[in-house]
Amino acid sequence: MSDVANVVRNIERITIAKCSGNYDKINQHLTQKKIAWYEQNKNSLNVKGTDVRKAYEILLFRYMKINPKDIKVMHEDDNKIVWRSYNWCPVLEAAKRLGADTREVCSKGWEESNQKLIELINPRLKFSRNYLNLRPYGKYCEEQIELVE
Protein backbone atom coordinates (compact mmCIF):
# COMPACT_ATOMS: atom_id res chain seq x y z
CA MET A 1 0.00 0.00 0.00
CA SER A 2 1.31 3.44 -0.87
CA ASP A 3 1.99 6.05 1.79
CA VAL A 4 -0.84 8.22 0.45
CA ALA A 5 -3.33 5.34 0.54
CA ASN A 6 -2.23 4.47 4.07
CA VAL A 7 -2.84 8.04 5.24
CA VAL A 8 -6.24 8.15 3.51
CA ARG A 9 -7.24 4.84 5.12
CA ASN A 10 -6.25 6.20 8.54
CA ILE A 11 -8.14 9.45 7.94
CA GLU A 12 -11.26 7.37 7.27
CA ARG A 13 -10.71 5.23 10.38
CA ILE A 14 -10.10 8.21 12.65
CA THR A 15 -13.07 10.14 11.25
CA ILE A 16 -15.44 7.23 11.88
CA ALA A 17 -14.04 6.65 15.37
CA LYS A 18 -14.26 10.31 16.34
CA CYS A 19 -17.83 10.65 15.01
CA SER A 20 -18.98 7.56 16.89
CA GLY A 21 -16.80 8.21 19.93
CA ASN A 22 -15.64 4.61 19.67
CA TYR A 23 -12.26 3.26 18.57
CA ASP A 24 -13.22 -0.43 19.01
CA LYS A 25 -13.36 -1.15 15.26
CA ILE A 26 -9.83 0.15 14.78
CA ASN A 27 -8.57 -1.89 17.72
CA GLN A 28 -10.33 -5.06 16.59
CA HIS A 29 -9.15 -4.76 12.99
CA LEU A 30 -5.53 -3.98 13.86
CA THR A 31 -5.40 -6.64 16.58
CA GLN A 32 -6.73 -9.32 14.22
CA LYS A 33 -4.28 -8.21 11.53
CA LYS A 34 -1.27 -8.29 13.87
CA ILE A 35 -2.19 -11.63 15.42
CA ALA A 36 -2.73 -13.22 11.99
CA TRP A 37 0.62 -11.83 10.81
CA TYR A 38 2.37 -13.17 13.91
CA GLU A 39 0.82 -16.63 13.59
CA GLN A 40 1.83 -16.77 9.93
CA ASN A 41 5.41 -15.60 10.59
CA LYS A 42 6.31 -16.74 14.11
CA ASN A 43 8.38 -19.73 13.00
CA SER A 44 10.59 -17.61 10.76
CA LEU A 45 11.13 -14.55 13.01
CA ASN A 46 14.25 -15.97 14.74
CA VAL A 47 14.85 -12.96 16.98
CA LYS A 48 17.47 -13.40 19.69
CA GLY A 49 17.66 -11.78 23.10
CA THR A 50 15.35 -11.17 26.01
CA ASP A 51 11.58 -11.21 25.54
CA VAL A 52 11.68 -7.40 25.78
CA ARG A 53 14.22 -7.24 22.93
CA LYS A 54 12.28 -9.79 20.88
CA ALA A 55 9.03 -7.83 21.24
CA TYR A 56 10.78 -4.59 20.29
CA GLU A 57 12.41 -6.13 17.21
CA ILE A 58 9.26 -7.94 16.09
CA LEU A 59 6.90 -4.98 16.56
CA LEU A 60 9.07 -2.23 15.10
CA PHE A 61 11.29 -3.83 12.52
CA ARG A 62 9.50 -6.99 11.42
CA TYR A 63 5.84 -5.97 11.61
CA MET A 64 5.96 -2.18 11.14
CA LYS A 65 9.10 -2.34 8.98
CA ILE A 66 10.51 0.83 10.49
CA ASN A 67 14.04 1.68 9.46
CA PRO A 68 16.32 1.21 12.51
CA LYS A 69 17.97 4.54 11.62
CA ASP A 70 14.66 6.23 12.59
CA ILE A 71 14.71 4.81 16.12
CA LYS A 72 16.95 5.77 19.02
CA VAL A 73 17.07 3.44 22.04
CA MET A 74 17.31 5.54 25.20
CA HIS A 75 17.42 2.71 27.76
CA GLU A 76 17.61 -1.05 27.59
CA ASP A 77 18.02 -3.78 30.16
CA ASP A 78 16.58 -7.28 30.54
CA ASN A 79 13.22 -5.94 31.75
CA LYS A 80 12.66 -2.73 29.80
CA ILE A 81 13.45 -0.93 26.57
CA VAL A 82 12.63 2.74 25.95
CA TRP A 83 13.02 4.28 22.50
CA ARG A 84 12.29 7.41 20.53
CA SER A 85 10.68 7.12 17.11
CA TYR A 86 11.42 9.68 14.41
CA ASN A 87 10.01 7.67 11.49
CA TRP A 88 7.34 8.79 9.05
CA CYS A 89 4.00 7.66 10.49
CA PRO A 90 0.70 7.37 8.59
CA VAL A 91 -1.34 7.75 11.80
CA LEU A 92 0.49 10.96 12.67
CA GLU A 93 -0.03 12.31 9.15
CA ALA A 94 -3.73 11.42 9.21
CA ALA A 95 -4.24 13.00 12.63
CA LYS A 96 -2.44 16.19 11.56
CA ARG A 97 -4.59 16.51 8.43
CA LEU A 98 -7.74 16.07 10.52
CA GLY A 99 -6.58 18.35 13.31
CA ALA A 100 -7.04 15.38 15.64
CA ASP A 101 -5.11 14.98 18.87
CA THR A 102 -2.56 12.18 18.49
CA ARG A 103 -2.64 11.63 22.24
CA GLU A 104 -6.26 10.52 21.88
CA VAL A 105 -5.96 8.81 18.50
CA CYS A 106 -2.89 6.76 19.35
CA SER A 107 -3.98 5.76 22.84
CA LYS A 108 -7.53 4.82 21.88
CA GLY A 109 -6.96 3.37 18.43
CA TRP A 110 -3.42 2.07 18.05
CA GLU A 111 -2.06 1.08 21.45
CA GLU A 112 -4.19 -2.00 22.18
CA SER A 113 -3.14 -3.89 19.05
CA ASN A 114 0.54 -3.34 19.86
CA GLN A 115 -0.12 -4.71 23.33
CA LYS A 116 -1.89 -7.79 21.97
CA LEU A 117 0.98 -8.51 19.57
CA ILE A 118 3.71 -8.38 22.20
CA GLU A 119 1.63 -10.49 24.61
CA LEU A 120 2.00 -13.33 22.10
CA ILE A 121 5.73 -13.24 22.86
CA ASN A 122 5.23 -13.04 26.62
CA PRO A 123 1.94 -12.22 28.38
CA ARG A 124 3.87 -10.22 31.01
CA LEU A 125 5.09 -7.64 28.47
CA LYS A 126 3.50 -4.19 28.51
CA PHE A 127 3.63 -1.64 25.69
CA SER A 128 3.18 2.03 26.54
CA ARG A 129 3.83 5.53 25.28
CA ASN A 130 4.93 8.67 27.03
CA TYR A 131 2.12 10.98 25.99
CA LEU A 132 4.14 14.02 27.07
CA ASN A 133 6.60 13.14 24.28
CA LEU A 134 4.39 12.40 21.32
CA ARG A 135 4.47 14.00 17.90
CA PRO A 136 3.43 16.60 16.84
CA TYR A 137 3.69 17.98 20.41
CA GLY A 138 7.30 16.83 20.61
CA LYS A 139 10.08 15.98 18.18
CA TYR A 140 9.60 12.22 18.60
CA CYS A 141 7.30 9.57 20.01
CA GLU A 142 8.69 7.95 23.13
CA GLU A 143 7.56 4.37 23.68
CA GLN A 144 8.55 1.41 25.77
CA ILE A 145 8.11 -2.27 26.34
CA GLU A 146 8.48 -3.54 29.86
CA LEU A 147 8.35 -6.94 31.53
CA VAL A 148 5.97 -6.60 34.47
CA GLU A 149 5.37 -8.92 37.41
How many domains, the chain? 1
CATH of the domain at 126: 3.30.1380.20
pTM of structure = 0.93
Residues 6+ apart with CB under 8 A from 103: 131, 134, 137
Q: Does residue 1 register a pLDDT over 80?
A: no
Which structural domain, as residue segments, surrounds residue 43?
A: 3-147
Bridge partners, 76 (sequence order): 81
Q: Between vectors from CA 55 to CA 52 and to CA 56, what angle results, nearest 5°? A: 85
d(CA 22, CA 124): 27
Summarize pLDDT for 72-113 with one digit per residue, the tens.
999 999 999 999 999 999 999 999 999 999 999 999 999 999
Summarize pLDDT for 2-49 with one digit per residue, the tens.
889 999 999 999 999 999 999 999 999 999 999 999 999 999 999 999
Per-residue confidence at 149, pLDDT binned at 50, 70, 90? Answer: confident
pLDDT at residue 3, as a whole number? 87
